[in-house]
């Protein structure tokens, strides 16, 4: 089937669905200039192993390395702006076409684009917390301390080590994941956008729903199960699908 017909089929599935949730990954933000992990040639994986530098193992055993390498990656995502794909999802939510977005991303771009119901299942880069007393701090404070070479940054209240509220490899999943799971179980359609679907347990979600649309530049392990697989850029695919839904 050519792309035009795939867009048409996707638009029809979305229009006839009672409840549609969207699952996004790093691929939706590459058009905002944030590299993903696994795109050939440009993904962060080309230069490093993110499962190492962004892991609890490194945070706890070599905090200096975590703050000099992994933390920089997190910090670099914070100045990006949403792209057309983020804005279309926000419009779709406003129009009642989708029920919400589950994102593996930590770049805040869905919220910046106006999406209201966003489940951040891998945490966020807005806040941090103290590993000893649990005190919440802003991500900016972590950045200020690191810029002043306070590495690792320490809690002003108790002196414990501060960490970003991002789910690192080795961390348990947050409560947002339980809520996301429930949303998917209640849905009849899931649209996956820009995820390689290799990171567990988020990649269990496509297996829990009847209807599945995958929009991803490269193959995923769930393509066999999907009603529609679109191998195009997220913004181009969503623009076409959204125009068909509105027409
Ligand atoms: P991934 O890197 O494993 O996969 C991204 C997928 O998106 C790839 O299969 C790639 O082919 C596809 N892709 C890239 N650009 C695309 C585009 N314009 N349109 C459509 N598809 C595109 O990412 P993942 O599955 O999200 O898992 C990696 C983990 O790392 C997640 O936890 C993720 O949140 C995190 N991460 C987040 C960010 C971010 O917040 N922006 C960036 C890098 C990594």
- The domain spanning residue 151 has which CATH number? 3.30.1600.10
The answer to whether the beta carbons of residues 124 and 85 sit under 8 Å apart is no
The answer to whether the beta carbons of residues 201 and 225 sit under 8 Å apart is no
192, containing H or E segment? strand 189-193
Is residue 15 domain-shared with residue 132, that is, in the same domain?
no
DSSP-derived secondary structure letter, 225? G
Closest CA to 32 of 114, 118, 110, 115: 110
Is residue 179 domain-shared with residue 152, that is, in the same domain?
no
Is residue 6 domain-shared with residue 112, that is, in the same domain?
yes
Is residue 26 domain-shared with residue 128, that is, in the same domain?
no
Is residue 215 domain-shared with residue 241, that is, in the same domain?
yes
What's the number of CA atoms in the CB half-sphere (13 Å) around residue 214?
22
The answer to whether the beta carbons of residues 94 and 78 sit under 8 Å apart is no
Q: Whose C-alpha lies nearest to ligand 1, atom 10?
A: 39
The answer to whether the beta carbons of residues 124 and 165 sit under 8 Å apart is yes
The answer to whether the beta carbons of residues 135 and 159 sit under 8 Å apart is no
Helix (H, G, I), strand (E, B) or coil at 48: coil
The pick from 25, 31, 46, 106 for probing ligand 1's pocket by mutation, whose C-beta has the most ligand atoms within 8 angstroms, reads 25
**Helix ranges, 66-136 (H):** 71-76, 84-94, 109-113
Q: Whose C-alpha lies nearest to ligand 1, atom 2?
A: 37
Q: Rounded to the nearest whole angstrom, what is the distance from the C-alpha of residue 202 to the centroid of ligand 1?
A: 13
Is residue 190 domain-shared with residue 236, that is, in the same domain?
yes
**Which CATH number is 212's domain given?**
3.40.50.1220
At residue 223, the pLDDT reads 98
Tokens encoding 48: 């490093």
Is residue 235 domain-shared with residue 149, that is, in the same domain?
no
Is residue 116 domain-shared with residue 206, that is, in the same domain?
yes
Tokens encoding 219: 């193959």
Is residue 16 domain-shared with residue 127, that is, in the same domain?
no
The answer to whether the beta carbons of residues 29 and 105 sit under 8 Å apart is yes
At residue 48, the pLDDT reads 76
Q: Rounded to the nearest whole angstrom, what is the distance from the C-alpha of residue 97 to the centroid of ligand 1?
A: 24
What are 151-160's contacts with CB under 8 Å, separation 24+? 151/63, 151/64, 151/67, 151/68, 152/63, 152/64, 152/66, 152/67, 153/67, 155/130, 157/130, 157/133, 158/130, 158/132, 158/133, 159/132, 160/130, 160/131, 160/132, 160/133
Residue 107: strand pairing partners:
none
Q: Which domain holds residue 155?
A: 35-76+123-166
Is residue 28 domain-shared with residue 68, that is, in the same domain?
no
Q: How many domains does the chain have?
A: 2
pLDDT string in tens for the chain (247-residue length) = 799 999 999 999 999 999 999 999 999 999 999 999 887 777 677 677 888 899 999 999 999 999 999 999 999 999 999 999 999 999 999 999 999 999 999 999 999 999 999 999 999 999 999 999 999 999 999 999 999 999 999 999 999 999 999 999 999 999 999 999 999 999 999 999 999 999 999 999 999 999 999 999 999 999 999 999 999 999 999 999 999 999 9
From 131, 149, 166, give the residue that closes a domain: 166
At residue 51, the pLDDT reads 84
Is residue 178 domain-shared with residue 215, that is, in the same domain?
yes
Is residue 210 domain-shared with residue 90, that is, in the same domain?
yes
From 166, 197, 218, give the residue that closes a domain: 166
At residue 30, the pLDDT reads 97
Q: Rounded to the nearest whole angstrom, what is the distance from the C-alpha of residue 25 to the centroid of ligand 1?
A: 5
From 133, 166, 199, give the residue that closes a domain: 166
**Helix ranges, the chain (H):** 3-16, 50-53, 56-61, 63-65, 71-76, 84-94, 109-113, 139-147, 175-185, 234-246
Q: What phi-psi label fits residue 194: left (phi over 0), alpha (psi between -120 and 50 degrees) or beta?
A: left
At residue 243, the pLDDT reads 98
**Helix ranges, 46-97 (H):** 50-53, 56-61, 63-65, 71-76, 84-94
């Amino acid at each position: 089937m050519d792309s035009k017909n795939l867009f048409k089929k996707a638009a029809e599935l979305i229009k006839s669905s009672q409840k549609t949730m969207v699952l996004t990954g790093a691929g939706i933000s590459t058009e905002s200039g944030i590299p993903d992990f696994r795109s050939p040639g440009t993904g962060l994986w080309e230069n490093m192993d993110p499962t190492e530098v962004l892991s609890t193992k490194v945070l706890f055993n070599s905090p200096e390395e975590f703050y000099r390498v992994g933390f920089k990656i997190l910090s670099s995502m914070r100045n990006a702006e949403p792209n057309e794909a983020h804005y279309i999802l926000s419009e779709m939510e406003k129009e009642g076409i989708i029920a919400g977005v589950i994102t593996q991303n930590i770049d805040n771009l869905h919220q910046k684009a106006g999406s209201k119901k966003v489940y951040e299942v891998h945490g966020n880069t807005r806040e941090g917390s103290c590993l000893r007393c649990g005190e919440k701090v802003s991500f900016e404070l972590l950045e200020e301390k690191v810029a002043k070479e306070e590495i690792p940054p320490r809690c002003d209240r108790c002196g414990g080590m501060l960490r970003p509220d991002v789910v690192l490899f080795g961390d348990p999943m947050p409560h947002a994941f339980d809520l996301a799971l429930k949303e998917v179980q209640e849905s009849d359609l899931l649209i996956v956008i820009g995820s390689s679907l290799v990171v567990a347990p988020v990649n269990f979600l496509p297996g829990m729903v009847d209807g599945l649309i995958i929009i991803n530049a490269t193959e995923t392990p769930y393509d066999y199960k999907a009603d529609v697989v679109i191998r195009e850029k997220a913004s181009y695919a969503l623009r076409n699908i959204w125009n068909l839904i509105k027409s």
